[in-house]
Structure 1
Amino acid sequence: MFATWCLLIGSLLVTMGLSHTLLKRLPVSAAALYLAAGYVLGPHMLGFIQLDIVRDAQLIERLTEVAVLVSLFAVGLRLRVHLDDPLWRAPVLLASVAMLLTIACITALGFWLDGLSLGAAVLMGAMLAPTDPVLASEVQVEQVGDRDRLRFSLTGEGGLNDGAAFPFVMLGLGWLGLHDMGERAWRWWAVDVLWAVGAGLTLGWFMGVGFARAVAWLRRERMQALGMESFLSLGLIALAYGVALKLRAYGFLSVFAAGLAMRHVEHVANPRRPMDVLDAEPQKQHYIAPAALEFALNLEKLVELTVMLIVGSLLSADEFGWHSVPVAAALLLVARPLAVWLSTSRLGWTPMQRALAAWFGVRGVGSLYYLAYAVSHGALTQDTPVVIDAVLVTIALSVLLHGSSATPAMRLYQRRRRREA
């Protein structure tokens, strides 16, 4: 069995590396192909992957947890823009107002249409609200310092709302009796919302700034070519996440802020130099952000493969029923477009930018993580199968629909931008 797994994993990785350029030309995304491969390898066909979302909830939670951390760190490193730049207004609105509207819509749908309890409906809304920072590569910033409003907003939104959805997951668990919210929900407001969000962002920011400045000082003043940027990056991710968890803050926001802070330190010191390419000599490259980003992007590809294989193996034809498909359709075609259209009404975006932002709310890694997190923390009621089916079907449909439309839609957008310029 071990030899079979070695052959399988080796074949997938080699194929992924050799076909990277070819995959960009296909009408479907790489994630869709990995999803199909996961289904073929799953229990309904070849049976190599035998996972169950209830039985293996803790394993899936840990795998997707690592996937989210790597992707959020990479997103933070991509965004080389000052925090006081007006560009930040859109992703903040999308990750707050639009996310709240989306959760409200899905909660109402689950409560009234599917007959879920209020706690289960809120959980489903919180699971499906975050957009994915991994699978939306076609609509993210193309290079560090990209100031396109649409790409920057979707990238920043994916980095922020994976952590910003956590309070509502805790709210759903609280209403199911699985989390202490305190009398009149005071503990939820004080700890799960104000403290955990604020402390997570603040802690990650100062750790990222301190780390980046320490590396730059050692290389510039002490002339030490530290090297091993990949280990330094992994160390910062682990430290930011671990310290945040110890302080009961949200580690996802902490890791995102740490990556953002590392890029900010470099940007302040070199405001006109994109520094996307590593210098030939490590001694001349004082800042670690470019090398850390290169390492994180490589890990992202492995993350994408792993998570899509898991989702594909969990899928079955029985899950595409009247409980799950309407939820997915309502999210992708009604809740997301409505939430984006309302939250971006005063941003001065073009109709095309608003339409593309409304459509490209890709669901993926974060949704699967929150699903596994809730199940592993005891959210096992009569409503659980409905929530599981809705989340898995939504991820699958989002990957297929958004993946097949991303390349032509963004090409049309780029041509329109060039004509307007």
Structure 2
Amino acid sequence: MDFANQIILVSAGLITFSIFAGVLSSRIGAPLLLVFLAFGMLAGEDGPGGIIFDDFAVAYLVGSFALALILFDGGLRTHREALNRAFGPSLALATIGVVLTAGLTGVAAKFIFDLGWIEAFLLGAIVGSTDAAAVFFLLHLRGLRLKTRVAATLEVESGINDPMAIFLTLGLVGFAAGAHSVANTSDAIGFLLDFLWQMAGGGLFGAAGGALVLRAVNRLQLSSGLYPILTGALALLVFALAQAAGASGFLAIFLVGFTIGNNQHRATSEIARFSDGVAWLAQIVMFLMMGLLVTPSALVPIFLPALAVALVLILVARPIAVWACLVPFSFTPKETAFVSWVGLRGAVPIFLGTIPVLSGVEGAEVLFSIAYVIVLVSLILQGWTVPLAARLADVELPPRPMPDRRVELDLPAGKGKSVVAYTVDPMSLLARRGVNRLPLPMGTTVISVMRDGVVRTEGLDQGVQPGDVVMILTTADMIPTLDRLFGARRARTRTKDTGTVDFVLEGTASAALVADLYGLAFEAEERELTLEQFMRSRLGKDIKEGDRTRVGGVALTALQVRDGAVHQVGLDLDPPQEESLLKKVRMRWREALKSLRDLFIADDPRGPF
């Protein structure tokens, strides 16, 4: 009993102190996941905590469970539009990119550590994939916003490249442990067939499982608090079944999350909030446990050569692999460099490093220690500099305004409909415009405005005051757009010679999608165009930076024009009101009358005769 209580005390204490340490470290920009990892090391046998933990089997079990939950949450937050936009480059990076990175890193490890070829490539496979937890967290650190295709490519790649790294690791472990022979043709063919089944089977289990989980959520009548638990349990069931069938359960659970996140269902906000909390807990536990597992004193003898391998991975292997994969997709050199730099390694390589140890591969503990050093270097060198790299690569977008307070209430009967209550910020767009003048997204309706406890549903065009609560009926996918409209606009983007804009959009964006998001009154034929085509249709072929056109009460500005093509369009939701022709005539008439009055009626400056 006392031992059980001690376990609970230590676990709760580690998690609590890790969170507090993370809050403090965020003020100096330290990657939070690095803090969790370092805190686990300090709590271990070589640190002040003195906790001895060397059970690789438990680490593998907990790591599998945590990684599955993290990937489910990643799939839940990956939008279909992002996947469509980045599917080609992400798939290339998640397959060919992982193989190239593993191969080049393995060659470096072969000569730096004098390993056998199988062991060297095994190390390359262990550290070959980017970490979903690290990428998802750092790309959203402090509201960091990136160009849509760049962000989508990095997020989707990190979500789907783990199966390839796991497959390579398991296959090479079989060769290193002597279960397979490189010279045996049947083993090589079996290796290839196993890869095909891992990918295809994971996709089948994920697609079928996602559809079944979605149907269960929509058909069963449960208490709202049970829907997230049901969804998580069924997703883990799909993961376990896929793994038992020899397919990739990690790919399957990512696809289950993707299916749930991109379809209307009950308890949207409950599932999203629950999954976010569980994913955070999984990340904390995973990084703490991996920190406990390593013995820092064992890292000292191999630190410098491991650092050399890490630098080869970051500065040579990853850039070459990224360049080779992204060449067909017309990424700019700066975008390619940024994607290369955000090849973050996290808990996944440490988790994969436990597999050779459990399989009895000779020298596996050394491979584990090398992988650990590589992760530390990646989190320190790359994780600490992601915002700076985004600015240098010119892929950072202005931060979106976020509301201070937002309350969501799902409507079970509406399947995806939510009632959202926003408290009006003094610096929001809403505080300066009437509710009926807001460019609200399609399918969004203002229900009421509450002020001092009194609800009113009429006269909404008269405007609101800071502190008022606006209740809106909308769909879950429109909430991010409403967040931008109701958030504090403390830093509008000032552009050269074009004034200020609220949002910067890519010229390749669909005019129909932008119209639906911001309530723009495009003509039917204009909705079929991209924003670049729309600007050219309105302004002609000779567009210059700063040229503007209006759509209702919203202005669109050509921000970046290269070779006659509009690459970026600024959206100004509150442009200066243009005067009508009648108003201009009246003003000119008043000015003329005033001039006549001054001429004939005003006192003579020379005084009376």
- Report TM bin, short chain: 0.7 to 0.9
CA separation in 2, counterparts of 1:142 and 1:73? Answer: 23
Structure 1 residues 205-237: Cα deviation after superposition (integer angstroms, max 9, x where no partner)? 111112113322446xxxx55541331132123
Q: Does 1:310 align with 2:289?
A: yes
SS of the equivalent of 2:132 reads coil
| 1:416–1:83 CA distance, 2 compared to 1 (3 A) | closer
Residue of structure 2 in register with 1:73 after alignment: 72
How far apart are residue 376 of structure 1 and its match? 0.9
Amino acid at match of 1:255: I
Q: How many positions carry a matched residue from both structures?
A: 391
Structure 1 residues 338-373: Cα deviation after superposition (integer angstroms, max 9, x where no partner)? 211221122222333211110111112221221112
Amino acid at match of 1:45: G
Residue of structure 1 in register with 2:348 after alignment: 366
Q: Does 1:293 align with 2:296?
A: no
How far apart are residue 20 of structure 1 and its match? 6.6
CA separation in 1, counterparts of 2:27 and 2:341? Answer: 21
CA separation in 1, counterparts of 2:19 and 2:106? Answer: 41
SS of the equivalent of 1:97 reads helix
CA separation in 2, counterparts of 1:312 and 1:335? Answer: 26
Residue of structure 2 in register with 1:354 after alignment: 336
How far apart are residue 106 of structure 1 and its match? 1.6
Amino acid at match of 1:265: N
SS of the equivalent of 1:265 reads coil
Residue of structure 2 in register with 1:276 after alignment: none
- Structure holding more strand per residue: 2
Q: Does 1:171 align with 2:171?
A: yes
Q: Within 5 A, what are the aligned runs for 1:20-419?
A: 23-52=25-54, 56-81=55-80, 85-136=84-135, 137-139=137-139, 148-180=148-180, 183-190=186-193, 192-218=194-220, 225=223, 227-266=225-264, 286-288=265-267, 290-313=269-292, 314=294, 315-316=296-297, 317-379=299-361, 381=362, 383-410=363-390, 413-415=395-397
How far apart are residue 16 of structure 1 and its match? 5.3
How far apart are residue 189 of structure 1 and its match? 1.3
Query: Residues 108 and 309 of structure 2 are in contact (CA less than 8 Å); yes or no, is this contact kept in structure 1?
Result: yes
| 1:84–1:237 CA distance, 2 compared to 1 (3 A) | closer
| 1:178–1:245 CA distance, 2 compared to 1 (3 A) | farther
SS of the equivalent of 1:346 reads helix
How far apart are residue 336 of structure 1 and its match? 0.9
| 1:254–1:289 CA distance, 2 compared to 1 (3 A) | farther
Structure 1 residues 37-63: Cα deviation after superposition (integer angstroms, max 9, x where no partner)? 1222111122432123xxx21111112
| 1:225–1:303 CA distance, 2 compared to 1 (3 A) | closer
Q: Which moved more, 1:12-21 or 1:385-394?
A: 12-21
CA separation in 2, counterparts of 1:17 and 1:388? Answer: 26
CA RMSD of aligned residues (A): 2.9
How far apart are residue 201 of structure 1 and its match? 1.4
SS of the equivalent of 1:205 reads helix
Identity among equivalent positions (%) equals 24
Amino acid at match of 2:51: I
SS of the equivalent of 2:52 reads coil
Residue of structure 2 in register with 1:281 after alignment: none
More contact order relative to length (CA 8 Å, sep ≥ 6): 1
Amino acid at match of 2:209: M
How far apart are residue 374 of structure 1 and its match? 2.2
Query: Residues 131 and 346 of structure 2 are in contact (CA less than 8 Å); yes or no, is this contact kept in structure 1?
Result: yes
How far apart are residue 293 of structure 1 and its match? 3.1
Question: Gaps (5+ residues) in structure 1?
Answer: 267-285
Query: Residues 208 and 258 of structure 1 are in contact (CA less than 8 Å); yes or no, is this contact kept in structure 2?
Result: yes
How far apart are residue 67 of structure 1 and its match? 1.6
Amino acid at match of 1:258: V
How far apart are residue 99 of structure 1 and its match? 0.9
Structure 1 residues 188-214: Cα deviation after superposition (integer angstroms, max 9, x where no partner)? 111x21112211111111111121133
- Select the structure of larger CA radius of gyration: 2
CA separation in 2, counterparts of 1:387 and 1:84? Answer: 34
How far apart are residue 323 of structure 1 and its match? 3.3
Structure 1 residues 152-199: Cα deviation after superposition (integer angstroms, max 9, x where no partner)? 111111111111222211321232244457725221111x21112211
| 1:26–1:236 CA distance, 2 compared to 1 (3 A) | farther
Amino acid at match of 2:337: A
Amino acid at match of 1:414: E
CA separation in 1, counterparts of 2:305 and 2:21? Answer: 37
Amino acid at match of 1:199: G
- Structure holding more helix per residue: 1
Question: Gaps (5+ residues) in structure 2?
Answer: 400-492, 496-559, 561-567, 569-609
Structure 1 residues 364-418: Cα deviation after superposition (integer angstroms, max 9, x where no partner)? 2221221112211222x1x324312210101111122222112443466425896
How far apart are residue 22 of structure 1 and its match? 5.6
